[in-house]
Amino acid sequence: MNPSPRTANLLPELLLHSAEHKPLAVALVHGVAALSYGSLQTQVEQCRNAMLGLGLARGDRVGIYLEKCAQAVVASFAASAAGAILVPINPVLKSAQVGYILQDCDVRLLVTSAQRHALLSPLLAPGGGLAHGVQHVLLSSEPDALASPLAGGPQLLHWRQLTDVAPRAGHRVLDTDVAAILYTSGSTGRARRPRPACSVRSPCKAAISPPLPCWRRST
């Protein structure tokens, strides 16, 4: 008798399940670029290894301050696979609002673009209020003049460096772990933090059970 197929119960396992069964199927479309489940899983594993290599502990918060793009999807799955808690940040928020979320949620790793990093630099610099919270910044875009390291500020890691990181043993992920914390717009203009959005074995599973739907982002 053939063994029963392995079921995917945790969020990182949903993508892995699809990558194992349909590695060439399209998982993500952004403009004219497409990414297969196999390629997406590879990038998620690379990003996860980089997060763990930075010393990310189980339950640490990972803030993602990006527009809708492939890197945002990769980082979201990678954070969950690393045993961290995802904190998605609305890309239209201003620097002060983003700074409030980073501080209120005690974000340790921030994933953002070089342009957004430049806007947040005054807050991330020593004395800016976030230097002792955010320890690492992962930039989704190539390094340029806008992405120069801040003296005494968070360590910078560029997306292209993810392929150079060796595999790491991850933290144990349980089905009761918090997967994400979502902030909503407050009536006073300051973001409000509700209860954790879902667990790693989430009610979201019904909406994204394998094979995962194709994420599409039009130009």
Give pLDDT < 70 ranges for the chain.
1-8, 129-132, 142-152, 174, 186-219
Whether 74 is covered by a domain: the verdict is: yes
Query: Is residue 63 assigned to a domain?
Result: yes
- pLDDT for res 15: 87
- The CATH number of whichever domain residue 176 belongs to comes to 3.40.50.980
Question: Cα dihedral sign for 176, 195, 40, 28?
Answer: positive
**Residue 128, token pair as written in the block:** 């800016």
Residue 218 lies in a domain: no
* Number of domains into which the chain is organized: 1
What's the confidence (pLDDT) of residue 10?
Answer: 77
Domain residue limits at 90: 11-205
The answer to whether position 168 is within a domain reads: yes
pTM for this one? 0.79
In a domain, 201, yes or no: yes
**Is the separation of the CB atoms in 31 and 219 below 8 Å?**
yes
Residue among 191, 172, 175 at smallest CA distance from 183:
191
For residue 1, is it within any domain?
no
Residue 219 domain flag: no
Distance CA 197, CA 201 (A): 12
Q: Which two tokens stand for residue 185?
A: 């717009």
Give residue 2's pLDDT. 45
- The answer to the question of residue 217 being in a domain is no
* DSSP per-residue letters across 176-194: TSEEE---B--TTSS-B--
The string of pLDDT tens digits covering residues 109-147 is 999 999 999 889 888 887 776 656 899 999 997 655 445
| CA dihedral angle for residue 201, residue 206, residue 207, residue 211, rounded to 10 degrees | 90
